Amino acid sequence: MITDNLTIFMAPMQGFTDAGYRSAHARLTGGVDTYCAPFVHLEHGEPRRRDLRDIAPEVNQGLTLLPQVLFRNVEELAVLTDAVTAQGYSHIDLNLGCPFPPQMKRGRGCGLLGRPEVMEDVARFVASRPELTFSVKMRLGADDPDQWKTIMPVINSMALKHVTIHPRIGIQQYGGELYMDSLTEFASRLHHPLVYNGDISTVGGALDIAAKLPGLSGIMIGRGLLARPTLASEIKSALSGEQRPTPTDAEEIAVLLDLHDEIYQQYTATLCGDAQLLSKIKPFWEYAGALLPHKAAKAIRKAGSVRNYERAVNDLRFYRG
């Protein structure tokens, strides 16, 4: 049975879902219950300052934010936990899913899935901090979709608020088949609330996955939400049985432009130089561009100066509903 109180999470995506994006999204379209921040990690042994700035409460006002940490052992986890709790957070998500080869090879992200002895240390650490709540975001394995079976006992032994599963393995990165059979087995063995993550890009896709996984507690959406920012509120409406017309492409482009304009304004106020500004704003269209007419998307992608970029975005206003 599909519950109408599924929690909707915005997936963390480094370089895309930063504080500016999250705040603008919450204000303009909503539908997301919890915004997941991209991981905080160590740089030269210290928590990266840019990561900490992104989770600072003053740039995340009014949002339910779930900060995340990327670590290779319990020593790194302890330093990162202190840095995140110092910002006032008491719920931390543990990244066991990052497939980026340099991190994976060093045993971080999904590199931890094949290290049950480190996971035992992590479980002891979690138990030693009862004042905090932890959750896990993971894949089925680094290079084998059965790898989760080795660490399932330790995952089940921890007091976790939820476990988010992306049913791929690390070497697939973000493409290729989803291991749905392994996912079903994973769900049946997990003792914690389950959050599903992977390739949800339509309301129908979200409802199908909720029907397939009875008792599902939440859905996490990344690229689908960047491509279609109203998707979370559309899913919420569908779950509550509300009859709401699906926004047309033109209406969706109008939402994208509003979102873009707010984020662009923040960047123009804080960044200087065409190259810096363009390198920060162009990723906005990487997934959002799917809805744009081909010519408009190409003009934005090719713009080599702020003047050409703004002209290309302004041309897009012609298409809005």
Interface with ligand FMN (CB under 6 A): 11-16, 38-39, 68, 95, 97-98, 137, 166, 174, 197-200, 221-224
Rounded CA separation 241/115 (Å): 44
What is the smallest separation between the CB atom of 169 and ligand FMN, expressed in angstroms?
A: 13
Structure-block tokens of residue 3: 């519950």
Q: How far apart, in Å, do the first and last CA atoms of the chain sit?
A: 37
Residue placing its CB nearer to ligand FMN in the complex, 97 or 247: 97
With respect to ligand FMN, which residue has the nearer C-beta, 108 or 260? 108
What minimum distance in Å lies between the beta carbon of 137 and ligand FMN?
A: 5
At its nearest, how many Å lie between ligand FMN and the CB of residue 317? Answer: 27
Closer CB to ligand FMN, residue 164 or residue 266? 164
Q: List Cα–Cα distances, 201 to 29, 109, 194, 287, in angstroms.
A: 16, 24, 19, 11
Asked if 124 and 152 touch (Cβ cutoff 8 Å), the reply is no
Cβ neighbours for 68, distance < 8 A, ≥ 6 positions apart: 12, 36, 37, 38, 39, 40, 92, 93, 94, 95, 137
Structure token digits, residue 317: 């206003």
In the complex, the smallest distance separating the C-beta of residue 8 from ligand FMN, rounded to whole angstroms, is 12
Length of the chain: 321
Q: Nearer to ligand FMN by C-beta: 17 or 266?
A: 17
Residue nearest ligand FMN, Cβ-based: 222
Whether 227 contacts 293, CB under 8 Å: no
- In the bound state with ligand FMN, the residue whose beta carbon lies nearer, of 199 and 274, is 199
Q: For the purposes of burial, counting CB atoms within 10 Å of the CB of 40, is it exposed (0-12), middle (13-18) or buried (19 or more)?
A: buried
- Give the nearest distance from C-beta 308 to ligand FMN in angstroms: 25
For 219, the 3-state DSSP assignment is strand
Token pair of 117 as six digits: 């002895």
- Cβ at position 243, least distance to ligand FMN in Å: 26
Rounded Cα gap, residues 149 and 165, in angstroms:
13
Residue among 60 and 95 whose Cβ is closer to ligand FMN: 95
